[in-house]
Chain A
Amino acid sequence: MADLIATREAYGQAIAKLGEVNEKIVVMDADLSHATMTCYFADKFPDRFFNAGIAEANMTCMSVGFADAGFIPFVSTFAIFGTGRAYEMVRNSICYPHMNVKLAMTHAGISLGGDGGSHETIEDIALMRVLPGMTVLVPCDANETYKAVEAAAKIDGPVYIRLARMATKVFDDMPFEVGKANVLKDGKDAVIFACGTMVECAFEAAKKLAEDGLDVAIVNIHTIKPIDKDTIKTYAAKCKNVITLEEHSVIGGLGDAVAEVLLEEGGYRIKKLGVQDEFGQSGTPEELLKEYRLDPESVYQDIIKPELFMRVKNHRFTHGIITTVHFRG
């Protein structure tokens, strides 16, 4: 396995590098530049870095002034503050006038660790994707983060990039196109639609499922909005059993975004794995993921729970729900 790199670290490096070729980029932070890793940009381009102090609402609105002047502001802080505390500023000052501002927010999800539930946002995808004109990107690794940052700078309008604190696996280089999901593994018995930190988990869970003879497809939904309806519909139709997996509340996030797409088709039962409508708490990232059943073993168990996901001996599916259980051994 390659070295582990957090997407926030990849973001810090990406924006510092992008700053070399794109002079329009300015970066704002709210006293967290050594956690969001915008410090790399700040060191390299002190004249294009602005610390707003611990004042996220003001940072959000001030970035609009930079966009008005033709700059491309990347605004960073912890996701809980950038999308939560400053929510109405994002809505009214950035999205309502469709300003060219990029919100690159770190420490999203429950895996940030010791800071606890007050700092662990499990609502940000829901909050950002409901805003008209907002693009929502959730990169799964360092490479994808780099490409997401590059792509965001090219979009004329608001973009939210969700980034994580904990170091995660770096996958082999994959193509990245905003709005186009990546099929990472083909399969026929079930499909897991995953995003961000949970893509790696989906792989590990799929390995365990393979030991039970289940061939599970994995689709990386790095763009939550605009969502790739075609790929979702194609893989749901092919695999019948649909699972969504995200380090976010099961209310309003990736799971609901996928469900909305499949509602257009009808006939699917969807198993949404994520944080089940509760707040996070302090712990190590590993402990927290296990506690909230977002580690590979829990995900595996939740997928094969007979009442939720069952396998037919003769591989005949009815309406996406496998009706009898057959476990190997």
Chain B
Amino acid sequence: MDIAYLKEKCNQIRIDTLKEIHVAGSGHPGGSLSMTEIIVSLYYYKMKITPKNPLDPLRDRFVLSKGHAAPIYYAVLADKGFFDKELLWTLRKLHSPLQGHPDKKKLPGVDASTGSLGQGVSIATGMALAAKMQGNGVNVYAVLGDGELQEGLVWEAAMAAGHYKLDNLTVIVDNNGLQIDGSCDQVMSLLDIGKKYESFGFTVYDVKDGNDLEQVIEALDAPSYGKPKCIVAHTVKGKGVSFMENSVGWHGKGLNDEELNKALAELGGK
């Protein structure tokens, strides 16, 4: 594992993500940036992916349950060669395969259409159960927002994953603490996320800094002891751009020219 290389990747992916949202004029920068280290650890280190054969049945599956973070997902898929990088600049445009939320019918590399919160992790649970049944060694990874955990369906899925002992399923919570209307604690307290998942039969890893590649990777590599795994990654919303960090206002908002330039200057991009 080359941490320096992965760090550089994170930076590049952040830059592409912000450029996408800038061109689109709308999108979700805050929750994209907070999960940068998570998605880069998965796509550049952990997962078995097959960009040349996006429907390879033996590939690992990734489900972006927090589908609004589509811009960073697309930046990674393009960089991995699932489609032409030029498509990134069509995000949210009419007829673009880069929909505001991921659409598997339109874009190669997208394993599940998501966007309506809670449904992605439930689909991922079904994928993991199907893979167990087939005994094909496929692993399934789902990334959820912390606000998303307010959806009851998330806990229906957790119950099923625990019941079926899906040790090929990893649920990663991008715990940046903020949602549209304010902090999660203000809107609807989540209390101890790890304890909740533990009680549903998961092996839980608490990652103190979810924007630290080494900590994320350590949790991804940690054993799951015959159970589904949950990684609670404490992240910073808008991570990497000073004026976006920990700001509710940057949940779902486009960047103007000036804001983009300022952000790129901080990230050392152009």
Q: Contact residues of A with B, CB < 8 Å?
A: 26, 47-48, 50, 52-53, 55, 57-58, 60-66, 68-71, 88-89, 92-93, 96-98
Min C-beta distance of B202 to chain A, whole Å:
16
B residues less than 8 Å from A26 (CB atoms): 133
Q: Which residue of B lies closest to A68 (CB)?
A: B127
State which residues 93-125 of B face A: CB under 8 Å: 103-105, 111-113, 115-116, 118-119, 122-125
Whether B57 sits at the interface, judged by CB under 8 Å, is yes
Min C-beta distance of A266 to chain B, whole Å:
35
| Stretch in B37-45, B155-163, B170-178 with 4+ CB within 8 Å of A | B155-163
Check A97/B129 contact, CB under 8 A, given A58-B156, A92-B113.
no
Q: Contact residues of B with A, CB < 8 Å?
A: 57, 61, 103-105, 111-113, 115-116, 118-119, 122-131, 133-134, 152-153, 156-157, 159-160, 163
**Complex-state Cα separation, A93 to B117, whole angstroms:** 11
B residues less than 8 Å from A50 (CB atoms): 129
Does A92 contact B115, Cβ atoms closer than 8 Å?
A: yes
Q: Which residue of A lies closest to B106 (CB)?
A: A97
Does B127 contact A69, Cβ atoms closer than 8 Å?
A: yes
Does B133 contact A65, Cβ atoms closer than 8 Å?
A: no
20 new A-B contacts, CB < 8 A, other than A50-B129, A69-B127, are A47-B133, A55-B156, A57-B118, A57-B152, A57-B156, A58-B125, A61-B125, A61-B157, A62-B129, A62-B160, A65-B124, A66-B129, A68-B130, A69-B130, A69-B134, A89-B119, A89-B153, A92-B113, A93-B116, A97-B103
Does B123 contact A61, Cβ atoms closer than 8 Å?
A: yes
Min C-beta distance of B164 to chain A, whole Å:
8
Check A61/B57 contact, CB under 8 A, given A69-B131, A98-B105.
no
Min C-beta distance of A40 to chain B, whole Å:
20
Min C-beta distance of A318 to chain B, whole Å:
49
**Complex-state Cα separation, A68 to B136, whole angstroms:** 14
Min C-beta distance of A49 to chain B, whole Å:
11
Min C-beta distance of B148 to chain A, whole Å:
13
**Complex-state Cα separation, A60 to B134, whole angstroms:** 20
Select the residue from A48, A58, A89 with max chain B CB neighbours within 10 A. A58
A residues less than 8 Å from B153 (CB atoms): 57-58, 61, 89
Min C-beta distance of B169 to chain A, whole Å:
10
**Complex-state Cα separation, A272 to B128, whole angstroms:** 47
Check A97/B156 contact, CB under 8 A, given A66-B126, A66-B130.
no
Does A68 contact B112, Cβ atoms closer than 8 Å?
A: yes
Q: Which residue of B lies closest to A48 (CB)?
A: B133
Q: Which residue of A lies closest to B111 (CB)?
A: A68
Does A62 contact B57, Cβ atoms closer than 8 Å?
A: no
Does B160 contact A93, Cβ atoms closer than 8 Å?
A: no
Check A97/B116 contact, CB under 8 A, given A53-B160, A57-B122, A65-B126.
no
Give the contacting residue for B123; candidates A48, A53, A64, A71; CB below 8 A: A64
Question: What are 8 A-B contacts defined by CB distance under 8 Å?
Answer: A53-B163, A57-B156, A58-B153, A62-B122, A62-B126, A65-B126, A93-B113, A93-B119
Q: Which residue of B lies closest to A66 (CB)?
A: B130
B residues less than 8 Å from A65 (CB atoms): 123-130
Select the residue from B104, B123, B127, B133 with max chain A CB neighbours within 10 A. B123
Q: Which residue of B lies closest to A60 (CB)?
A: B122
**Complex-state Cα separation, A65 to B168, whole angstroms:** 13
B residues less than 8 Å from A96 (CB atoms): 103, 105, 113
Does A61 contact B130, Cβ atoms closer than 8 Å?
A: no
**Complex-state Cα separation, A296 to B163, whole angstroms:** 49
Does B123 contact A70, Cβ atoms closer than 8 Å?
A: no
Does B130 contact A93, Cβ atoms closer than 8 Å?
A: no
A residues less than 8 Å from B126 (CB atoms): 61-66, 68
Does B123 contact A62, Cβ atoms closer than 8 Å?
A: yes
Does B57 contact A70, Cβ atoms closer than 8 Å?
A: yes
Does B125 contact A62, Cβ atoms closer than 8 Å?
A: yes
**Complex-state Cα separation, A48 to B133, whole angstroms:** 8
**Complex-state Cα separation, A52 to B153, whole angstroms:** 12
